[in-house]
Amino acid sequence: MRSLTKAVAVTAALGLALTGCGRSEEATPEASGSGSTAAAGGFPADSAIGIALPQKTSENWVLAENLFNEGLTSAGFKGDVQFANGGVSEQQNQIQAMITKGAKVIVVGAIDGAQLGTQLKAAKDSGATVIAYDRLLTNTADVDYYIAYDNFKVGQLQGQALLDGLAMKKPAGPYNIELFAGSPDDNNAKVFFDGAMEVLKPKIDDGTLKVVSGQQSFEQAVTQGWKAENAQKRMDTLLAGSYTGSTALDGVLSPNDTLARAIITSVKAAGKPIPVVTGQDSEVESVKSIMAGEQFSTINKDTRKLVEETIAMVVALQKGEEPTITDTTSYDNGVKVVPANLLEPVIVTKANAAEAYANDPVLGPLTK
């Protein structure tokens, strides 16, 4: 299985990650809220570390669970990895339980980053350091660091991939497209959409792209819960309402692979040619789809690397050192600018898949 194979791989990679805990930029994060950014003093090497993850809506979250369990154990910590499949209230209770157990660092991949303020304040009051993982924690001063792939750039890459795929499909426009976004309670969803629209909006304005349904806003494009069935239902409705007769659908902006496959399923069921469809997360079935010439692109945000860097951050804090920070200006959560360590996403199409996944023991063989 992909998750178990990659969980083993993190152990070897972690040794390298843990030697690179110095900061890449000198910047002093602001003190805030009920506690300041905590690096001074450190804490015992066998401390409890809480990992609060959202619902299991994609392969990457399942993979992260295995990687955190393996990596934290290898680094000598007592890892407590929890999924909040029951929703926001369950995640709130899980974070509170981590505080009660004395967690020195709490890493939060939020279901809804705006609804954890009480728990995050309690974490800071307890002396814990709070790290936002993959999704920014918003409207709170009680978050110390953010670690993620550069999500605005993810959106830009998706927008450019859609344009590139359309140009490959036929040399000149205009092109009929539709826009999909992620779940509105996920802060990243709007960031992805905004990044993509920075690329696509000028082409919509000059007539190169036509959103036939007229649904161009984030609010119109959202997919509640990142659920495939919601994306497929909306695509069914769009096809029935806007693509009757000879009207062709040339492309679809999809924010991730799960939704991309649902969109393709809807198009196939309607008997329409498969349009250019973007994605994200390098899920196994979508990589297969790309190699088969169906889904056009995905984004590789290697979860192994993201977990390695997160654990490296925890180790630096344990030693009383400042962790690697690459951005001190971009991530204003509504209360403070959160110091961030941003990793670089990689666009993947059939043309570069073999190279992109050359070191991936599961995805690499799919590109042969």
The residue behind tokens 């029951």 is 86
Q: Compute the distance between CA of residue 262 and CA of residue 70 in angstroms, rounded to an integer.
A: 32
Residue 16 lies in domain: 2-149+302-333
> Is 325 domain-assigned?
yes
Token pair listed for 219: 């609010």
Q: Compute the distance between CA of residue 163 and CA of residue 140 in angstroms, rounded to an integer.
A: 37
Task: Clarify whether residues 323 and 212 are in a common domain.
Answer: no
Task: Clarify whether residues 294 and 316 are in a common domain.
Answer: no
Q: Compute the distance between CA of residue 159 and CA of residue 82 in angstroms, rounded to an integer.
A: 34
pTM for the structure as a whole: 0.80
Domain-ending residue, one of 276, 300, 324: 300
Token pair listed for 293: 């010439």
Task: Clarify whether residues 15 and 129 are in a common domain.
Answer: yes
Task: Clarify whether residues 87 and 163 are in a common domain.
Answer: no
Checking phi first, is residue 25 left (phi over 0); if not, alpha (psi -120 to 50) or beta? beta
What pLDDT was estimated at residue 31?
37
The answer for residues whose C-beta is within 8 angstroms of residue 118's C-beta and 6 or more apart is 92
> Is 14 domain-assigned?
yes
Checking phi first, is residue 334 left (phi over 0); if not, alpha (psi -120 to 50) or beta? left
> Is 359 domain-assigned?
no
Domain total in the chain: 2
Tens of pLDDT along the chain (368 residues)?
333 333 333 333 344 333 333 333 333 333 333 333 444 569 999 999 999 999 887 788 999 999 999 999 999 999 999 999 989 999 999 999 999 999 999 999 999 999 999 999 999 999 999 999 999 999 999 999 999 999 999 999 999 999 999 999 998 889 999 999 999 989 899 999 999 999 999 999 999 999 999 999 999 999 999 999 999 999 999 999 999 989 999 999 999 999 999 999 999 999 999 999 999 999 999 999 999 999 999 999 999 999 999 999 999 999 999 999 999 999 999 999 999 999 999 999 999 999 999 989 999 999 99
> Is 357 domain-assigned?
no
Domain-ending residue, one of 255, 280, 300: 300
Task: Clarify whether residues 28 and 39 are in a common domain.
Answer: yes
Q: Facing residues of 52 across strands?
A: 82, 108
The answer for residues whose C-beta is within 8 angstroms of residue 64's C-beta and 6 or more apart is 53, 109, 303, 306, 307
Amino acid at 114: A
> Is 104 domain-assigned?
yes
> Is 339 domain-assigned?
no
> Is 350 domain-assigned?
no
Q: Compute the distance between CA of residue 135 and CA of residue 151 in angstroms, rounded to an integer.
A: 9
Q: Compute the distance between CA of residue 36 and CA of residue 129 in angstroms, rounded to an integer.
A: 9
Task: Clarify whether residues 214 and 268 are in a common domain.
Answer: yes
Q: Compute the distance between CA of residue 206 and CA of residue 336 in angstroms, rounded to an integer.
A: 37
Token pair listed for 110: 């939020």
Task: Clarify whether residues 31 and 106 are in a common domain.
Answer: yes
Task: Clarify whether residues 140 and 106 are in a common domain.
Answer: yes
Task: Clarify whether residues 257 and 316 are in a common domain.
Answer: no
CATH number of residue 308's parent domain: 3.40.50.2300
Characterize 109-130 residue by residue with b for buried, 16 or more Cβ atoms within 10 angstroms of its Cβ, and e for exposed. bbbbbbbbbebbbbbbebebbb
Instruction: Report CA torsion sign: 236, 240, 241, 244.
Output: positive
Task: Clarify whether residues 43 and 90 are in a common domain.
Answer: yes
Task: Clarify whether residues 320 and 293 are in a common domain.
Answer: no
Token pair listed for 315: 């180790």
Task: Clarify whether residues 145 and 215 are in a common domain.
Answer: no
φ, ψ (nearest 5 deg) of residue 142: -95, 50
DSSP assignment letter at 365: G
* Angle, CA 361 vertex, CA 355 and CA 365 arms, to 5°: 60
Domain-ending residue, one of 300, 321, 352: 300
DSSP assignment letter at 367: G
> Is 175 domain-assigned?
yes
The residue behind tokens 């000598």 is 76
What pLDDT was estimated at residue 171?
87
